[in-house]
Structure 1
Amino acid sequence: MKILYICFFGFLAQFVDSIAGGGGLISIPALFAFGVPPHFALGTNKLGAIFGTLSSSVKFIKSKKVHFPMLKYMIPCTVIGAILGVNTVLMIDQKILNTIVVILLFVVCLYTIFKKDLGSKDNFSGMNKRNIMIGGCIAFILGFYDGFFGPGAGSFLIFSFITFLGFDFLISCGNAKILNTTSVITSFFVFAINGKVIYSIGIPLGICMMLGALLGTNLAITNGRKLIKPIFIIISIAFMAKISFTIIH
C-alpha cells in the first residue's frame, strides 16, 4: 500500500514538474512521509525522476521547443555543478539553504506576477559571448542546487531562461527540462555509487513519474504560456509555503 501512495505522488510530481518545475516539492516530502531516510529519499527520487524528465525532454525535443545551440554550452556546466552539489550535500546546514531558497522564490514569484508580459515573446538576442557566459553560470549554479537539494530547480531554470536569456515560456520550459534531466542523471549516478538508492521503490516510482511527465508535457506544449505561467506561480507559492513551514518548525 505504501508504494501505491508513493507512486501516486510521483505521478503528480512529474505532471506538475513537466509544466512548471517544482515536482520535488511533492515527491521528496512523500518519500520522507513514508519513512525513507533523507539521503536515500534524495537518491531514490533521482532514480524515479530520470524516467519522468527524460520522457518529457524527448517530447520537447520532438516538438522542437528547445534551443540546442545554447544548451550545448550549458550541459557540461550542469554536470559539473550536479557532481559538486551531491558531494557537498552533508557539508552545509540545510536550514540556511532553505531560507535562501524561500527569499529567491518570493522575489521570482512577485516578478512573475507583476510583469504581465514575462515570457510572452521570444526575445533571445542570439549566440554571443555574453549569453554563453550567463548560460554557463545559470547551468552550473542550478546544477549544483539540483544535486545538493533539488526541489524548485526546474522553476528557477525556467525563470532564468526567460529573465536572463530572453526565451519565451515554452522554449524556456523545454530548455529547463533538458538541463534538469542532465542534473538528475548525473546526481543519480553519484548517489548510486554511494549506495543511497532504494531500487525497489525508485523503479515503480519512475514508471509513474514517466506517465505524469508525458501527460503534463502534452498539456504544456498544447497550451503554452497560458498554462505554464499560472502553474509556475502556484508551484512557486506552494514551495515557499512548504519551506517556510519547515524553517519555522
Structure 2
Amino acid sequence: MEFIWLFFIGLIANVLGTIAGGGGLISLPAMLLMGIPVHSAIGANKVSNTISSLSSFIVIYKYKEVTVKEALIVMPLCLGGGITGGLIASLLTESTMIVIAVVLLSFALLSSFLGSSEFDGNRPLVINKKSGFSLFGIGFYDGVFGPGSGTLMMYVLSHLGISYIRAVGLARIAIFSSCFGASITYIATGKIMWAVTMALLLGSVSGAQIGVHLARKLKKEYVKPLLRIVTIALLIQIVVTNL
C-alpha cells in the first residue's frame, strides 16, 4: 500500500511541477508524513525528478518548441549548482535552508507583481552574469533542498522574455540537470531507499507526461496567477510546517 501511495504522490506532484513548479509542495511533506527519513525523501525526489524532467523535456523538444542549443546553455549552470548543493547539503542546517527558501520565494512573488513579463515574449535565450548566477543559485538550492526550485526557474525565464511552453521545456531540463547532479551525491553517500525511489519514480514519469500535455494547452494569461498561487502555497506550507 505504501508503494501505491508513493506512485500517486509522484504523479500528482509532477503534474503540478511541470505546469508551474512546486511539485515538492506535495511530494516532500507527504513522504515525511509517511515516516521516510528526510535525506532519503529528498534523495528519492532528486532521482525521480531527474528522469521525469528529462522525459517531459523530450516531449517538448519533439514538438520543436525548444532547442538542444538552448538546453546546452542551461545545463552546465544548473548541473554545477546541483552538484555543489548536494555536496554541501550536510553542512547547512535545515533551518538555514528554510530561511533561504522563504526569502527566495518571497522575492519571486514580489517580482511577479512588479515585472511586466507575462510569458508573451519569444526572445532567444541569452545568459548574462545576473541570469547565469540565478540559474546556478536555483540549481544549488535544488541540490540542497528543492521545493520551489521549478517555480523560481519559471520566474527567471519569464523575466528573460521566454514564452511559456519554452519556459516549461527549459525549466524541465534545468531541473533535470540540478537533480542529476544532486542525485550523484545522494547515491554516493548511501541515502537512497531504492524501493521507495522506484515507486515515486514511476508516478513522477506518468505525472510529467500528463503535465507537459496540459501545459501545451494552458492559456498564457493563466500562467502568472497559477505561479502566484503555487508560490503562496509553498510559502504557507514551509512556514506552517516549521513553526
Does residue 207 of the first structure (1) align with residue 202 of the second (2)?
Answer: yes
Per-residue deviation at 1:67? 4.7
Name the CA shift for 1:132/1:107 in 2 (closer, same or farther; >3 Å). Answer: closer
Measure, in 1, the Cα distance between the counterparts of 2:87 and 2:125. Answer: 35
Q: Which runs of 5+ in 2 are unaligned?
A: none
Per-residue deviation at 1:158? 0.7
In the alignment, what sits opposite 1:149? 145
Name the CA shift for 1:52/1:62 in 2 (closer, same or farther; >3 Å). Answer: same
Q: Percent identity over the alignment? A: 29
Measure, in 2, the Cα distance between the counterparts of 1:236 and 1:112. Answer: 10
Does residue 101 of the first structure (1) align with residue 101 of the second (2)?
Answer: yes
- Secondary structure of residue in 1 paired with 2:17: helix
Q: Which runs of 5+ in 1 are unaligned?
A: none
In the alignment, what sits opposite 1:122? 121
Match of 1:139 among 119, 124, 135: 135
Amino acid in the other structure paired with 1:23: G
Per-residue deviation at 1:227? 4.3
Per-residue deviation at 1:133? 3.0
Q: Which runs of 4+ in 1 moved over 6 A?
A: none
In the alignment, what sits opposite 2:168? 173
The alignment yields a C-alpha RMSD, in angstroms, of: 2.0
Deviates more, 1:143-152 or 1:90-99: 90-99
Measure, in 2, the Cα distance between the counterparts of 1:173 and 1:51. Answer: 16
The alignment's TM-score, normalised by the length of structure 1, stands at: 0.89
Name the CA shift for 1:120/1:141 in 2 (closer, same or farther; >3 Å). Answer: closer
Residue by residue over 1:23-48, the C-alpha shift from the partner in whole angstroms, topping out at 9 and shown as x without a partner, is 11111111111111111111112222
Name the CA shift for 1:101/1:70 in 2 (closer, same or farther; >3 Å). Answer: same
In the alignment, what sits opposite 2:241? 246
Aligned residue pairs total 243
- Secondary structure of residue in 2 paired with 1:99: helix
Measure, in 2, the Cα distance between the counterparts of 1:198 and 1:110. Answer: 38
Does residue 220 of the first structure (1) align with residue 215 of the second (2)?
Answer: yes
Measure, in 2, the Cα distance between the counterparts of 1:99 and 1:32. Answer: 19
Q: Is the 8 A contact 1:98 1:243 kept in 2?
A: yes
Match of 2:186 among 188, 191, 195: 191
Q: Is the 8 A contact 1:143 1:183 kept in 2?
A: yes
- Secondary structure of residue in 2 paired with 1:124: coil
The alignment's TM-score, normalised by the length of structure 2, stands at: 0.91
Residue by residue over 1:147-196, the C-alpha shift from the partner in whole angstroms, topping out at 9 and shown as x without a partner, is 01111111111101111x22122222211111111111221122111111
Per-residue deviation at 1:124? 2.6
Per-residue deviation at 1:200? 0.7
- Secondary structure of residue in 1 paired with 2:89: coil
Does residue 18 of the first structure (1) align with residue 18 of the second (2)?
Answer: yes
